[in-house]
Structure 1
Amino acid sequence: MTEDLKKIFRALIQTHEQLNELARRKQKAVTKGDIDGLDQTLKQETPLIARLNQLEKARQTIVHQWLRENGIAAQDATMEQLMPAFSRDDQEEFRALYETLAGEITALQEQNDLNRQLIEDSLKFVHLTMDAVQPGQMLSDNYSGRGGDDSDDKGRSLFDSKA
């Protein structure tokens, strides 16, 4: 059980490291406005996320099996609860693996928060730009050249025209 669990932790760490690299690439793509690069990065993320789900299910299966074998009724045991069951060497290794994984997860969360903020800022800029390009107020009839007639053109801006 311990060796299988260690393998899963190592795979989780490796997958999170890869996701962190992709998150940094996403940041570069967003800041450069590289939509194709962003799309490619998102496509590379999909199998890694699926891998995380598989690894998490495998981890849960191993832990639940171990808990059943040892007569422990806990459904969702934490690493802190499991630590006393391991040898001192395994405890040290699991603690190091756990801390590394927690660091990778925290880094990924921070990078994703930054990327989310960059995307939100980019969208705000696009909206502001679109608002600046679109006419904000309709010109009055005095400036439209219609001289106050009540045709269906009333209320159109200077840039609108009939076909």
Structure 2
Amino acid sequence: MAFEALIRIMAALNDVHLSLLELAELKKAALIQNDVEALTQIVTKENKWIKQIGELDADRVEAIGQFMIEKNFKPNKRVTVSDLTKIIFDAEDKKKLIEAQRQLLNTIRKLREQNQLNQQLIEHSLAFVNYSLDLIVGPPEDDVLYHRPQHQPSGYKRPGLFDTRA
């Protein structure tokens, strides 16, 4: 039955998001420790999980379509789980679906919060790197780029790199 398949897919989506949440917490530790190698490994794992989420989401859409056909509704790819809760009249099934949705949304909320924290850590790290570079190299407003010479008054001489009077 398509309903059980949908519940299994929702549970799998929750599991994958929980795995991403664990990786986000590992990423936080790697960012704090400035461990670039660990960050690279974490990002590679994240990409694998994100690909799996895309596949599971496609399966979810297909399961919803099958469920709609079973209930003699016209399948529509835009029907969401929330929409399904409105057309399910069996109390036990509705409870299962709402619980699966609640768990997934809760996990996604936690993941979003952790990712926002990691983004702030990355921004602070970049600000520190830029500050350090400014201390070493000098501020970026120094004449680093070539500028076309403007018309200079005839008595003006551009200072050279070496003092020729020595």
The bucket for the TM-score relative to the shorter chain is 0.7 to 0.9
| Shift >3 Å, 4+ stretches | 72-75, 135-138, 148-151
Deviations 1:57-89 (A, max 9, x none): 000011123324422364412323212325211
1:12 to 1:149, Cα distance in 2 relative to 1, 3 A: closer
Once residues 73 and 37 of structure 1 are traced to their aligned partners in structure 2, the CA distance between those partners, rounded to angstroms, is 44
RMSD value over aligned CA atoms?
A: 2.1
- Write the mapping of 1:8-157 to structure 2, written as runs, cut at 5 A: 8-69=9-70, 70-72=72-74, 74-83=76-85, 84-136=87-139, 150-151=159-160, 153=161
Once residues 27 and 42 of structure 1 are traced to their aligned partners in structure 2, the CA distance between those partners, rounded to angstroms, is 12
1:88 to 1:135, Cα distance in 2 relative to 1, 3 A: closer
Percentage of pairs with the same residue: 30
1:149 to 1:107, Cα distance in 2 relative to 1, 3 A: closer
Once residues 53 and 62 of structure 1 are traced to their aligned partners in structure 2, the CA distance between those partners, rounded to angstroms, is 14
Could you tell me the TM-score, scaled by structure 2's length?
Answer: 0.78
- CA contact 2:65–2:75 (8 Å) conserved in 1: no
Deviations 1:78-101 (A, max 9, x none): 323212325211111111111110
User: What code does the residue aligned with 1:125 have?
Assistant: F
Once residues 149 and 80 of structure 1 are traced to their aligned partners in structure 2, the CA distance between those partners, rounded to angstroms, is 72
1:135 to 1:48, Cα distance in 2 relative to 1, 3 A: closer
Partner of 2:154: none
Once residues 81 and 16 of structure 2 are traced to their aligned partners in structure 1, the CA distance between those partners, rounded to angstroms, is 20
Once residues 13 and 75 of structure 2 are traced to their aligned partners in structure 1, the CA distance between those partners, rounded to angstroms, is 26
Aligned length, in residue pairs: 144
1:86 to 1:48, Cα distance in 2 relative to 1, 3 A: farther
Q: Which runs of 5+ in 1 are unaligned?
A: 139-147, 155-163
Could you tell me the TM-score, scaled by structure 1's length?
Answer: 0.80
Once residues 33 and 58 of structure 2 are traced to their aligned partners in structure 1, the CA distance between those partners, rounded to angstroms, is 37
1:67 to 1:97, Cα distance in 2 relative to 1, 3 A: same
